[in-house]
Amino acid sequence: MINGERVGDFILAPGFTSRKRVQYQTYDVTKMLTLDNKIEIVVGDGWYNGKINFVVAENVPKALICQLDILYEDKTRESIVSDDSWLVSKDKLRFAELYDGEIYDSNFTDTPLSAIVLDHDKKIIVKQQGVYVREQEKIAPVSIIKAPNGDTLVDFGQNLTGYFEFTVNAKGGDRVAFTVCEELDKYGNFYNENYRDAKARFEYICHDGINTYKPILAFWGFRYMRVDSFPCEITRESISAIVVHSDMKRTGYLNSSSKLLNKLFSNIIWGQKGNFLDVPTDCPQRDERQGWTGDATVFCKTASYNYDVEQFFEKWLTDLKLDQGKKGNIPNIIPQTVCWDWSTTEDTGAVWGDSATIIPYQMYKMYASKELLKRQYKTMVRYLSYIASTTKKRYLWYGCGQFGDWLGLDAPSGSYRGSSNEDFIASVFYYNSVKIVADVSMILGKDSSKYDTLASKILNKIRSTFKEYKTQTECTLALYFDIAEDKASVAKRLNDMIRANGNKLQTGFVGTPFLLHALSQNGYSEAAYDLLLQEQFPSWLYSVKQGATTIWEHWDGKNEQGEFWSKNMNSFNHYAYGSVADWVYEEACGIKPLKPAFEEAIIAPKPTDKLDHLSAIIHTRHGKISSKWYHVDGKIRYEIETPVKTTIIIGDKQFVVDAGSYIF
């Protein structure tokens, strides 16, 4: 703050990075200055020393570094730097913890003392690389509810990530206190046991008169708020929610004739907004909020259609590179936490670790940045060496600890891991990563032959070792990643499994993102649509019918009786299954890049009679592409707009067109 006014609008600066670096931000503050000026900076534990590290070190000094550069009218310069002439005091913000919330005492005062100057290695300070996190929108409560147990609840109608702002006329010492939750229990009462060890609370001590406040160093994932204390009756006018996320540009839009499907599209967008807060997190509410790599790996394609995420992921991939273990392993959480030090335990799960290859490659497809590939290349290569050094069988990724098809519904009782063969999953992703590195080598003008040879050896070994595909996920991976030799029979088997299961899926984090692609790319689009439009449990639309406003972690997060799956692992804002949107963009509406960044496109829509219309718009680096189909007079009409040379495939006909609008 300068002279009591906030500098800039970057929330939670300096952001969440590897412990090996801290970003600095620059602001032009000229207009904020008067003759006498006061700079105040509030610091807290934040991501660096909060419970998010699972071990909180006592007495870790909070620190800051600041420099004010002045250019006078006579062109002379002066720098005022944070040194021992600065004063430090305890703030009115008495407590701030990402999991637990904030306590603010507006009456608190402290006597400033001279600052303690820490001698810290300044080499870790780097220029801001990530996207700024900003306040995005304000949401008014949809209702104030009196719960059956007497609690007063504020319902914002949307599970969101951010904080809130309230105004109240109070007497000095009056308290405002809230606790937040995502869902109400089956009776309509407040429920936040699924936040586990995150207290998710807020407390404020009022001064006399009008108090207006919004939190400074905390954020919450929530839809409802329990009013634990408020000086007067709370009304819809006294409080609003403020949505906070990385300031990404929206690029993708989906729309259909089905209200439920449109709600799913909206939930996917909200899942991304809620979990793209400086790093891609698993969830924004419980005691995790971590950059789990596997979640980001399976969602990055959808994320890159919905929003421009190039800069967002560039920053995170730099942290991935910095936190890569000595042997090339990728920590399963990036930025790496203090207590789970994967750089020394050398533990990396397939899919999770493949964030090192899959995400930069996806960014290249969407934005064509060779620079990013160049920067990440060594990390990719070292990751492959790690797999080769850890596997128990050469040319496979075999016999190592894995997450498997995480949360697959075919999990044995008591397990989080679906019943698909974990060595098969790991080997398929190893193969895929080697193929990516081969392609990236070519793109960067390097010799790819070593990786081409390795890929074909891995493929042969997978084929000779895993002869049968027993689960939906195994069939899906065998098809999508070109493992199956007889694709027609595997596709038929997958289709039969789904039909025999009542048009219902059983897949988890690993199978689900590829399931619909595997079906529609092999002649079974209708089965893909049946899964997409399935309304009974387990399905995407089941959660929508249960009132979801974001994507659930579990297919069975809440049953039809309104009972919760478990308090241990039950987030209602986990974007992984939202990855189905990339199937809608790429297959149902048919838009794909033929050359990186859509310098050339392919549009091959796959319509169905199960929807009246479906459309996608993508704002690419080369302009707006749209693909819409709808039924009219017993026929299907396609409306396509493209800014670039495009191959349009309608049924078995192919047209190569230049930029323009086309109707078929």
Residues that bind ligand BGC (CB under 6 A): 282-283, 288, 292, 294-295, 403, 406, 574
Q: How far is the CB of 281 from ligand BGC (least distance, A)?
A: 9
- Least Å from the CB of residue 509 to ligand BGC: 7
Give dist(CA 545, CA 263) in Å, integer.
10
To ligand BGC, the closest distance from the beta carbon of 406 in angstroms equals: 6
Closest CB to ligand BGC among residues 203, 288 = 288
Identify which of residues 104 and 222 has a Cβ nearer to ligand BGC in the complex: 222
Q: Which amino acid is at 140?
A: A
HEC string for 92-115? CEEEEECCCEEEEECCCCCCCEEC
Closest CB to ligand BGC among residues 425, 459 = 425
Q: Could you give the CA distance from residue 301 to residue 366 in angstroms, rounded to a whole number?
A: 9
Q: Smallest Cα–Cα separation from 276: which of 287, 286, 284?
A: 284
Helix (H, G, I), strand (E, B) or coil at 454: helix
Instruction: With CA atoms as reference, report the closest residue to 527 among 509, 512, 539, 515.
Output: 515
Q: List phi, psi (to 5°) of 55.
A: -130, 125
Please state the closest distance from residue 293 (CB atom) to ligand BGC, in A.
8
As measured in angstroms, the least distance from the Cβ of 369 to ligand BGC is: 27
Give min distance, CB of 198 to ligand BGC, in A. 13
Q: How far apart, in Å, are the Cα atoms of 22 and each of 51, 125, 588?
A: 19, 5, 43
What's at 550, amino acid-wise? T
Given the complex with ligand BGC, which of 292 and 364 has the nearer CB atom? 292
Closest separation in Å from C-beta 351 to ligand BGC: 9
Grouping H, G, I as helix, E, B as strand and the rest as coil, residue 627 is strand
In angstroms, the CA 118 to CA 498 distance is 62
Shortest gap between Cβ of 272 and ligand BGC (angstroms)? Answer: 15
Question: What's the number of CA atoms in the CB half-sphere (13 Å) around residue 507?
Answer: 29
The CB-of-571 to ligand BGC minimum distance in angstroms stands at 6
Task: Give Cα 324 to chain centroid, integer Å.
Answer: 20
**Tokens in use for 611?**
């929807």
Give the gyration radius of the chain's Cα atoms. 26
Task: Name the residue number minimizing CB distance to ligand BGC.
Answer: 282
Separation CA 424–CA 165 (nearest Å): 50
Bridge partners (DSSP) listed for residue 655 = 648
Q: At what angle do helices 512-520 and 293-306 cross, to 10 degrees?
A: 50
In terms of CB distance, is 282 or 314 closer to ligand BGC? 282
Rounded to the nearest whole angstrom, what is the least distance from the CB of residue 365 to ligand BGC in the complex?
Answer: 23
Closest contact distance (angstroms) between CB of 424 and ligand BGC is: 19
CA atoms of 573 and 571, how far apart (whole Å): 5
Phi, psi (5° rounding) for residue 641? -130, 130
Pairing of strands 646-650, 600-603: parallel
Backbone angles phi, psi at 243, to 5 degrees: -85, 130
Cβ 403 to ligand BGC shortest distance, Å: 5
Cβ contacts of residue 114 below 8 Å, gap of 6+?
A: 84, 85, 86, 87, 88
For residue 138, the SS3 value is strand
* Separation between Cα atoms, residue 549 and residue 540, nearest integer Å: 12
Query: How near is the Cβ of 426 to ligand BGC at its closest, in Å?
Result: 14
CB of 77 to ligand BGC, least distance (A): 49
Q: Which of 511, 513, 500 is nearest to 475 (CA)?
A: 511
Beta carbons of 591 and 627 less than 8 angstroms apart:
yes
Q: Which is nearer to ligand BGC, 153 or 551 (CB)?
A: 551
| Contact (Cβ atoms closer than 8 angstroms) between residue 159 and residue 223 | yes
Nearer to ligand BGC, 412 or 634 (CB): 412
In whole angstroms, give the CA distance from residue 196 to residue 182.
Answer: 13
What is the SS3 assignment for 55?
Answer: coil
Question: In terms of CB distance, is 92 or 286 closer to ligand BGC?
Answer: 286
Query: Which among 614, 551, 556, 557 has a CA at the least distance from the CA of 578?
Result: 551
> Distance between CA 326 and CA 260 in Å, rounded?
48
Nearest by Cα to 125 from 82, 176, 80? 82
Instruction: Compare residues 289 and 628 and give the one whose CB is closer to ligand BGC.
Output: 289
Report the nearest approach of ligand BGC to the CB of residue 645 (Å). 40
